[in-house]
Amino acid sequence: MSRKISLLDCTLRDGGYVNDWLFGHDNIVSVFERIVDAGTDIIEVGFLDDRRPFDYDRSIMPDTDSVGKIYGDLDKKNTKVFGMIDYGTCSLDNIKPCSESYLDGIRVIFKKHLKDEALRFCSELKKLGYIVFAQLVSVTAYSDDDLKELCALANATHPDAVSMVDTYGLTHQKDLKHILEILDENLDHDIAIGYHGHNNFQMAYANCQMILAYSDQTDRELLVDGTLYGMGKSAGNAPIELVAMHMNNEYGKEYHLSQYLEAIDANIMEFYQPATWGYSLFFFLAASNDCHPNYVKQLTNKHTLSIKQINELLGKLQGEKKLLYDKDYMERLYVEFQDKEINDSADIEALARELRGKTILVTGPGTTIKTESKKIGDFVMSADPLIISINYASRAFMPDYIFLTNTKRHIQVATLLSKEKIPVIATSNVTPTDKPFEYVMNISALLDRDSEYADNSLMMILKVLMRSGVKEVNLAGFDGYSGTDANYLDEGKEYDFAKQKADYLNNYMSGFIRSHKDDIKVNFLTTTRYDIT
């Protein structure tokens, strides 16, 4: 058999039921880029619903022009980009021809009693040049005769695919296979069959496996849907990272699992706590590595490792130690992992050449970036500095470089990096998306293992500058920490521990700067709680 099987991600569309599609634009951009860079065949980027106003931060859009406003600058590479219409919520007047749209295809979802007019609507979309999928809401509500009637209508209007939507997560494999066999027997063979599962019975992943295994029995193309971390209303959907792993292992696919995992960690987990669904990322990582979940907790609590690196470390567990938790054993593996340094000498030399002879301004995310902007602006006008921004960028003072120290901060500047093409100086624990960073610094040489928080970003950039031969630096927006007031201009960037540990953090950074006063002169342009006298 041909084994024409494809994987579709619908996080930005179906996951939106959890948060009213308010992912925030940076998250939207990052999810899109991660899904594309994972090599996913199709990404569904949201609903087309002309009842909703345009919102740059939401993945529900009134028309195809709005899709272009949100996604138009992004490179879709080899991934097909789809939107979805719940039949009756978006008129053809709001759908431009495919040649004038960022979308490659549209999926139309409809209830059984609307199937005649919905399939005619699908036919009109095909005339506009789109790839069109017909999505059968609550496929379990269709009798065998209903399914055969649906197939006759589909053969007449000819969508590119017909998908079984298990809206309430009711199907087990025997029932689903029966529906699949009816569709396979009665649909024209150039119409693909898809499956969109919900996880009420925790069967979505197993059902995806059954659909994929059916490729042994048909030459027809088959498609399965998933979302990051199973994000979706109630029990959620089939987790795309599980389905992709299965397709890699059993069918020779080459989806990049690390991109899915990074997107879960950086983009999806913030929505999980207020609106929990499905299973746990911790348990997925533990189960996929056949190890005790306490190892995952131990590594994530360090706050220095990306999800990809945690996965790599778990893969180093051997023998009975996998399931018999041994904290000291993992600590030794962690130290060995961190001590395997990358050679960043070439990047340091290249950066030193760029910085030589320049006035350096490093900007941070403190509130003084806004409240003391005139002071900063006057300095920029008079000194014409080279600006390096840490894990953040003020559009008022656009940086020449961005220094990134962890993946979550990488995500928060995703839009800026995509549009402005700002060069990145990154520590070696940060996972890139589609292309290598311009400069990669060995994190092992920058961490302070004697500190309670080993990866303080200001401390690390000062170490980078010192290693690059810089003797003087100007700082703005490094306000220090308060136990009561906002510590960041964007309060969404606040670390959970910052207010509880404000005095410790201020004392630590003050001491670090004082201890290196002979190596680098530090000038604060804006008000700070750090005491360097």
* Structure tokens, 140: 């379990």
Of 503, 454, 446, nearest to 480 (Cα)?
A: 503
Name which of 127-136, 187-196, 279-288, 432-441 the model is least confident about. Answer: 279-288
Phi, psi of 456 (to 5 degrees): -55, 125
Question: Would you state the pLDDT for residue 532?
Answer: 87
Contact of 227 with 9, CB cutoff 8 Å: yes
Q: How far is CA 16 from CA 23, 173, 404, in A?
A: 8, 27, 28
pLDDT at 407: 73
pLDDT exceeds cutoff 90 at 402: yes
- Average confidence score pLDDT of the chain: 91
> Given phi > 0 = left and psi -120 to 50 = alpha, else beta, which region is 473?
beta
Q: Going by DSSP bridges, is the β-strand pair 161-166/105-110 parallel, antiparallel, or unpaired? A: unpaired
Structure tokens at 512: 């670090």
pLDDT tens string 500-531: 778 888 899 999 999 999 999 999 999 999 98
For the whole model, what pTM was predicted?
A: 0.78
**Continuous segment of H or E residues that includes residue 409:** helix 407-412
pLDDT classification of 444: cutoffs 50, 70, 90: confident
| HSE toward the beta carbon, residue 123, CA cutoff 13 A | 12
Q: CA-based angle 71:308:289, to the nearest 5? A: 125
Quote the CA–CA distance of 399 and 396 in Å, as a whole number. Answer: 9
Measured over the CA atoms of residue 447, residue 449, residue 451 and residue 452, the dihedral's sign is positive
Span 117-176, pLDDT tens digits: 999 999 999 999 999 999 999 998 899 999 999 999 999 999 999 999 998 888 899 999
How many CB atoms within 10 Å of residue 84? 23
pLDDT tens readout for residues 260-278: 999 999 899 889 877 777 7
Query: 276 exposed, middle or buried (CB, 10 Å; 0-12, 13-18, 19+)?
Result: exposed
Domain 5-276: CATH architecture, name and number where available: Alpha-Beta Barrel (3.20)
